[in-house]
Structure 1
Amino acid sequence: MTIHAPTGVEAPPERVQAPEEERRRVPEGPVKVVHAFWMAGMSCDGCSVSVTGATNPKVEDLLAGIIPGLPKVVLHHPVLAEAVGDEFIHPFKLAEEGKLDAPYVCIYEGSIADERIAAATGGYFSAMGMQALEGDEEEGGTPLSTAERMGRMAPGAAAVIAIGTCATWGGIPAAVGNPTGSMSLMDFLGKDYRSALGLPIINIPGCAPIGDNFTETVAAILMFLQGIGPLPEFDELGRPAWLFGETVHRGCTRAGYYEEGVFAENYGDKECLVEIGCWGPVVNCNIVSRGAQSHMGGCMAAGGPCIGCTMPGFPDKFAPFYTAPPGSAVSSTASRTLGFGIRRLRALSNHDRNRETRWDAVAGGEVPSGWGEIDKPGLLDKTMHFFYEKLQFSGNKRKPGRDDSRKYFMDMPPRTEGMEAPRDAEQPAERG
């Protein structure tokens, strides 16, 4: 792989593959400690904030090593660590040199900028720690880019995890017209990259990602490392398949409105948000089923349309935001056409299922509710449900329209006090 050149110009590696000695360094059996090295590129730290709010499992539980069967995780995070300066960087150097006494994983937040652009003007985009280069005039050396540090550490890592859309797909810093040449970690390390365990890059997208998606994936990888669980299933883009296998729309609480052809016209409406800019039907994400934090919140739950932030094409292919996707003109029109009939059929069924059988059998169909007047079934209702029940009870002894349901119920006169049965109450006929 290409290492930081003396001039400070940096290029993405052509191929990063863990050599055999690096593979042997990862123990096959249970381990007591695993180091997690967190690095950041062109990021806003939103991924870090999201992960610290994870609850299933909690970051604290991973760090404390109290999850049964899993090793203790030692986190080296530039924001959360107590150590600073050389003391903080020292474990990173040990990992680079293969001298760390335990396996480690690398985690990258933010997109990777093309440091050659910044180096041409004598600067850098994202750096952590220093390195001594030939010809350095400044005391302490030259800032070492986090991309270069990742390139050095990745071959020996048990796993490399890109967290957040910037790290997984490039995200906003890599949008069309950006001046940084930003790219994803997968673009940087290349297709042939394999960790010391033989794993390609693991991608957990989201802007910001769901914290639980990250901690759950880490726990699953640790179970595999411990030999107490299988290798988790990942899709062709390295996403946890059990988390990103479904679209937003399939789990959305507003999806029922879509199939009935009812759409929100304004923000704050309760109906489907497709026509005010929601891309949920084509976006792989579990935000509606899992929630943003503690199984609560999330875009659609808060009334916000999905803008596709977990997808490789974000943001360019989903812009302009909050306008109806072009494809919705076809799909929503079809939903409106079919949904018109579906809504009315469901309304008829809903009206019928909101009635006790007793109300249909006695008292002329009246409902004894003091809260309001409820319409009696009309001719259309009765006709529709006659044929509906013919299908419902096909092959059953019960015949719609022929059973005398009245014989099963006592015709009780209205009472406002006391609970004794009236002495002259008609006794129900025996069922024969």
Structure 2
Amino acid sequence: MSTERHRPVETARPTERPDFLELVREREAGAVVDERADAIRAALSTATRGGLDVVWIQGQSCTGCTVSLLQSEYPAIEGVLSEFREQSSFHTTLMSETGTDAMNAISTDPDVLVVEGAIPTEIPRAATLGTDERGKRKPVVDWVIELGERADVVLAVGTCAAYGGLPAAGRHDSRRGEVGTDPTGARGLQFDGEEPGGVFGPDFEAGSGLPVVNVPGCPAHPEHVLLTLATILNGHEPDLDALHRPLPLFGPLVHDDCELREQYEQGEFADDPGDDGCLYEAGCAGVHAYCDDSVRLRNGGTAICRDVGAPCIGCVEPAFWDRFTPFYEKREDRGDAGLDEPSIMRSDDDAPTWEMRAVSAVVACLCVLIAAPALPVAAALSALSRWLGDGEPISWRDSDLTEA
């Protein structure tokens, strides 16, 4: 197959076709899909009626990302979304054609290649699609390389396609500091866990000049897929982070916008999933994971994992699964957490006033004197003096009470 590149996806001026990812920076989560439904519909229509070929290939996948997109609820764009699902040049799960007709429908020169699922590189026959010229089962890795070299844009949907995901579990055991093996040599398209590389290698660029654009998640959030794809179809280049994720969607730290953040700051922690309080001690990876799902929500904008008592398991991050297992157990900080340690955090403006400290100190001293009348009054007064002097809380270790 020739590797000569064809024309890039047509670039339009932003005033003509909106950059939905940039709009996300300015609006609340979910607002862009609601307010720009007509423009998103027009963008997706270019892949169904505008002559752009979109090929969606699945490797080692549970099809969860496709199901997530199928179950999205966007009444304003439902019609064109159905068209997109059904009229993409090729989609293993959704297309109506079968057998030879289905294989003949694959565009060998796609404008956009979407890959869902990890790619087995050491046992290629673990994921195959159709047959080659010799009549042998053709590995998905061969399809991905051939079509990726021809495509203008390559989009990795889901953590498996982006970084290896669950099929790569066993090779990235960060808890023990070891690197093991996985059965099939599963890789992401341009990353192997947290390391650049993957199937295409770190220097790969599609015809548009973009690297592989990653939209991770297990499964990927349907709005993340829609906004990224519509932006690309409109001819805009998304602003990507070092892991090739669109920054407007994957820049926020999950922890920062979590509805349990107040409990974290107050030091109120749940012992187990489902208990009241912040889920950090129950293994929540929200201080390590970057995406806006704390405010974007799922299920029609009603809930996300923490809302139903389940800790974040870091599914948008590279080296997921290994990096955050065993789930529901607090993990050691590798220095990549958004916060060093959970604590009661306050700004200088929120610090207790002199009067508040005095009242607290008097109460504390009274409790000490009542509970232990044998302790000298002088010791209690010394503790009170130290509290008022430097604002440090009374403790058995720090006050003169330890010397009584």
TM-score normalized by structure 2?
0.66
Instruction: Report the AA paired with residue 88 of structure 2.
Output: V
Q: Distance in 1 between matches of 2:267 and 2:352?
A: 12
Change (3 A) 1:303 1:325: same
Which of 22, 45, 49 matches 2:5? 22
Query: How many pairs does the alignment contain?
Result: 297
User: Any idea what the Cα deviations from partners look like across 1:55-93, whole Å, max 9, x if unmatched?
Assistant: 45856424547xxxxxx963521111111111111132x
Aligned to 1:156: 150
Aligned to 1:110: 117
- Among 172, 175, 199, the residue aligned to 2:166: 172
SS of 1:266 mapped into structure 2: coil
CA deviation after TM superposition for structure 1 residue 180, in Å: 0.7
Alignment correspondent of 1:396: none
- Matching residue of 1:129: 130
Change (3 A) 1:84 1:259: same
CA shift, 1:333, in A, is 6.5
- For the residue of structure 2 that corresponds to 1:89, the secondary structure is helix
- Residue 146 of structure 1 and its aligned partner are, at CA, apart by 1.4
Runs of 4+ in 1 over 4 A off after TM superposition: 25-31, 56-60, 330-334, 336-339, 341-345
Local SS of the residue matching 1:325 = coil
Letter matched to residue 133 of structure 2: A
Give 3-state SS (helix, strand or coil) of 1:282's partner. Answer: coil
Q: Could you tell me whether the CA contact under 8 Å between 2:264 and 2:342 is conserved in 1?
A: no
2:211–2:244: 8 Å Cα contact kept in structure 1? yes
Name structure 1 gaps, 5 residues minimum: 4-17, 66-71, 119-123, 134-140, 225-229, 349-432
**Aligned with 1:321: secondary structure?**
coil
Q: Which residue does the alignment assign to 1:293? A: 299
Q: Does 1:218 align with 2:229?
A: yes
RMSD of Structure 2 on Structure 1 (CA): 3.1
User: Cα distance 1:188–1:270, how it changes in 2: closer, same or farther (>3 A)?
Assistant: same
Contact map agreement 2:115 2:161 (CA 8 A) in 1: yes
Q: Distance in 2 between matches of 1:39 and 1:147?
A: 10
Partner of 1:86: 100
The amino acid across from 2:321 in the alignment is P
- Determine if contact 2:282/2:329 at 8 Å carries over to the other structure: yes
Q: Distance in 2 between matches of 1:285 and 1:22?
A: 33
Higher mean alpha-carbon deviation, 283-292 vs 262-271, is at: 262-271
**1:77 partnered with 2:60:** no
How far did residue 178 of structure 1 move? Answer: 1.7
User: How big is the shift at 1:26?
Assistant: 5.0
The Cα shift of 1:265 comes to: 2.3
- Alpha-carbon distance, 1:296 to partner: 2.1
Aligned to 1:273: 279
Taking structure 1 as the reference length, what is the TM-score of the superposition? 0.62
Partner of 1:144: 138
Query: Any idea what the Cα deviations from partners look like across 1:271-328, whole Å, max 9, x if unmatched?
Result: 2100111010121122221112321222111211011111112111212210112249
- One-letter amino acid of the structure 2 residue matched with residue 278 of structure 1: C
Q: Supply the distance in 2 between the matched residues of 1:253 and 1:297 (Cα, whole angstroms).
A: 11
Whether 2:210 is the aligned partner of 1:196: answer: no
Q: Distance in 2 between matches of 1:244 and 1:26?
A: 24
Structure 1 contact 160–201 (Cα < 8 Å) conserved? yes
Q: Following superposition of structure 1 onto structure 2, how do residues 313-352 of structure 1 map, counting pairs within 5 Å?
A: 313-327=319-333, 335-336=343-344
Seq. identity, %: 31
- The structural deviation recorded for 1:268 is 2.2
CA contact (8 A) 1:162 1:168 kept: yes
Q: 1:25 to 1:300 in 2, by over 3 A?
A: closer
Residue 61 in structure 1 maps to residue 80 in structure 2? yes
Partner Cα separation in structure 1 for residue 330 and residue 8 of structure 2 = 52
Deviations 1:370-391 (A, max 9, x none): xxxxxxxxxxxxxxxxxxxxxx
d(CA) in 1 for partners of 2:264, 2:322 = 26
1:45 corresponds to 2:66: no
